Structures are given as C-alpha cells and as structure tokens.
Structure 1
Amino acid sequence: MNNIVEIIKLFSDQTRLRILNILYDSEHCVCDLEAVLEMTQPNISKHIKKMSDLNILKKRKQSYWIYYSLNNEIFEKYDFVESILRDIRKEELFQNDLKKLKKYLDSPKSCHI
C-alpha cells in the first residue's frame, strides 16, 4: 500500500521530479535518463528504486534492457500526482529535459537506434 507521506516526500527531490517528467509520456531505459539528466547510472538507479518501492513506477524487461514507466494506478489513487507532473512541465528546466530527450533519441548515441 502506498504511503501518502512518502509519496509527498518523493516530490521534494528535483531529480525524481525530472525522472517522472521524462517518464510521463512514455517508457524509457536508464541510459535515456543518464543522457538527459547527465547523471551516473548508480545515482539514477537509486532514485528509480525509491520510486519503484512506492509503486510509482513499473518496469518491463526486453532483452538486456529494463524500461521504466509511470504506474497509472498512482494517478487514480492520488489526484495530486498527475497535477504536479502537469504543472512542472511549465518550468524551463523540465521543458529543457524534454528537448534534450528528443534530441538524444534522434541521435546515433541513443540505444534505440
């Protein structure tokens, strides 16, 4: 069962918000997050684990890759989650992350090509 206090605490961390922003539209692997956030895999994995433990993220394994996405059940349970994620998209930092993601996914460096 999700603990609302822990979920609210989760939103106090900018890195987690940035990850959630990236995952809002579609699933991604950690290498996508590394490229956009310019952080190391262990650092991102620490945040992914925390969010997965709270059942905010789902994962899907395909070959060697694990893809993470938002667990839509969290939106149904807590209305404020989707509201926060929509609102942060108005901020420049989060808009820039989405631009970097698009550029990365279109590049030869992307693991999706």
Structure 2
Amino acid sequence: MDLIQVMKALADETRIRILNILKDGGLCVCEIELLLDINQSNASRHLNKLTSARILEYYKVAKYVCYKINEDTVKEFPFLKEIIEEEAIKLKQCDIDYERLKKYRSSNLGCEDIKEGKVCLDINLK
C-alpha cells in the first residue's frame, strides 16, 4: 500500500464523512447517500477513491453494494484508526452525520425502505 495514495484519499471532507459513518460497520451505497445527503454520482466517486486506496472494501448483499473499512489497511497505517475513531467526530458535519446514523439505525429502516421512499423526515434533517 502506498502512503501517498492513502493520504490523498483522506484529503477530502466527504471521504472523512464516509469513514466516520462506517466506523461502526458497513453500509449500503444508498444508505451512505441518504445519511450524507449526497447524490449517487458524488458517493460513487468518493467510494471509488477510498476503495482504490484500499481504505474501504466492498461486498454485496443481495442486489446492494455495501462498503466497510478495510481492517488490514488500518493495521498497516495505525493513524487511520485515530483519524476515524477520534478526530473525525470533532468536525461539526461528522458529528451531525453520526447523529443521523444513530437515528437511522434506531428507525429499523433498510435499503428497500430507502428505495421505496419510506424515510422518516427526522433522518433527513441536518
């Protein structure tokens, strides 16, 4: 793994926000879009950058593509763990995103609900 590639992947607020909401486990692309209030194109671009740097890895669940933090890369670059677990949440937007994640998880909504538009308005508030 290339340190420069990892550092470049971290040099964007949206990518830090993605890592922040993935620190407790994987999420589907549609969930990432909802939680960060970003469109599919924007989400894909950032997810590809993080995946290319091997900071994230993806897996499929039925017809959905999910992303999670690559623990091997975190072991290789221990500063990633500190950034993800301690520093990101200090950013106001990351704190807002994480609160939205907690509301989303407690709502028992899933990818099908998002695709069908069955999303509580509370989740969409910033």
**Cα-to-partner distance string for 1:6-41 (whole Å, 9 max, x where unaligned):** 111111100000001111111000111111111101
Within a 5 Å distance, the mapping from 1:34-49 to structure 2 comes to: 34-49=33-48
Pairs aligned (count):
112
Which residue of structure 1 aligns with residue 66 of structure 2? 67
Within a 5 Å distance, the mapping from 1:1-113 to structure 2 comes to: 2-86=1-85, 87-107=87-107, 110-111=110-111
SS of the residue corresponding to residue 104 of structure 2 reads: helix
| C-alpha distance in structure 1 between counterparts of 2:70 and 2:112, whole Å | 22
**Cα-to-partner distance string for 1:48-93 (whole Å, 9 max, x where unaligned):** 1111111111111111111110000111101111111121123322
SS of the residue corresponding to residue 94 of structure 2 reads: helix
| C-alpha distance in structure 2 between counterparts of 1:68 and 1:30, whole Å | 7
Q: Contact (CA 8 Å) 2:26, 2:68: kept in 1 or not?
A: yes
Q: Contact (CA 8 Å) 1:35, 1:104: kept in 2 or not?
A: no
Gap regions ≥5 residues in structure 1: none
Q: TM-score under structure 2 normalisation?
A: 0.80
Q: TM-score under structure 1 normalisation?
A: 0.89
Greater fraction helix? 2
SS of the residue corresponding to residue 60 of structure 1 reads: strand
SS of the residue corresponding to residue 111 of structure 2 reads: coil
Q: Contact (CA 8 Å) 2:55, 2:74: kept in 1 or not?
A: no
Deviates more, 1:36-45 or 1:83-92: 83-92
Q: Aligned AA for 1:99?
A: E
| C-alpha distance in structure 2 between counterparts of 1:112 and 1:23, whole Å | 19
| C-alpha distance in structure 1 between counterparts of 2:112 and 2:103, whole Å | 12
Gap regions ≥5 residues in structure 2: 114-126
